[in-house]
Amino acid sequence: MNFTPLFTEPFKQKGPAYWFLFSGQNLLVDPSDGMVPYLTDMTELNLKPIRRQYLGALNGRSCYSVELAGDADPPEGMVFQRLRDLFDTMDETFCRIAGLGLQIVHWDQTHQYCGRCGAPTRNKDDERAKLCPKCGLVSYPRISPAIIVAIVKDHQILLARTNRSPTKKGLIAGYVEAGETLEECVRREVREEVGIEVRNIRYFGSQSWPFPSSLMIAFTAEYASGEIRIDKSEIIDADWFAAENLPENPKEGGIGGRLIDWFVDALDA
Ligand SMILES: [Zn+2]
């Protein structure tokens, strides 16, 4: 499948389009096949759109995102599902479009007025941006970078349980702060959350993380020094785990799961 992101419709298209309809962070899907509605006219669904955005073309067919009310009822035979839960099961291309859609819906919703002078904004004609007609401020979709890091010591990996997801042992992660490099962010997050120092920080990969507007940048690192000392406001517990000893987790999807696979595979190699 071939998806081309676009911010305006290149031409008025006849025929069906793909509709990515969001109620909060929940996407409307058919539970039998996980697909989004594919319709010529979304009024068939009897839902009240708040705003609609063009996302691009999938195999020549238009894709739209639509913001619905937070309490919208799904049409018969369909359900609203948390996009985050769909992220591991949905077709990769649909997942990418849905992720883009959620970010654009969120951006459109939160940039109706200029952040500098408060005047109503309008969409720019030549790029995905909002323009303030009064003071000229241009606002792009905001992307907040976050790091996630696999720390290895003597063939063991550091996993922690956080207050945010207490049922799962996962990797250290956190948002990049203003003025920081990615490597500085890795060192700071690791130091703050588990009190150790790391070295040999290496880029691993990245993943769009549209909840609602992040980019997850993954690293590997080696333990350098210190004893685990957890920040109790964020971390419940943290420890080193050998590959044959990894805790039973709910399936870790996305780049965090790929980092753990990397650790396991590195030992087999
Ligand atoms: Zn303005």
Phi, psi angle pair for 221, to nearest 5°: -155, 155
Going by C-alpha positions, the residue among 6, 128, 1 that lies closest to residue 56 is 6
Q: Residue holding tokens 């009310």?
A: 69
CA of 131 to the centre of ligand 1 (A): 8
Q: How many helices (H) and strands (E) does the chain have?
A: 4, 17
Its pTM stands at 0.89
104 contacts 58 by C-beta, under 8 angstroms: no
- Domains, the chain: 3-110 (3.90.79.20), 144-268 (3.90.79.10)
51 contacts 101 by C-beta, under 8 angstroms: no
CA of 110 to the centre of ligand 1 (A): 14
CA of 121 to the centre of ligand 1 (A): 8
112-146 CB burial, b ≥16 within 10 A, e <16: eebeeeeeebeeeeeebbbbbeeeeeebebeeebb
216 DSSP β-pair partners: 146, 207
10-60 confidence digits (pLDDT tens): 877 788 999 999 999 999 999 998 899 999 988 889 999 999 999 999 999
CA of 137 to the centre of ligand 1 (A): 5
150 contacts 262 by C-beta, under 8 angstroms: yes
Spell out the per-residue pLDDT of the chain, length 269, in tens: 899 999 988 877 788 999 999 999 999 999 998 899 999 988 889 999 999 999 999 999 999 999 999 999 999 999 999 998 887 778 889 999 999 999 999 999 999 999 999 999 999 999 999 999 999 999 999 999 999 999 999 999 999 999 988 888 999 999 999 999 999 999 999 999 999 999 999 999 999 999 889 999 999 999 999 999 998 898 999 999 999 988 876 556 689 989 999 999 887 66
CA of 113 to the centre of ligand 1 (A): 8
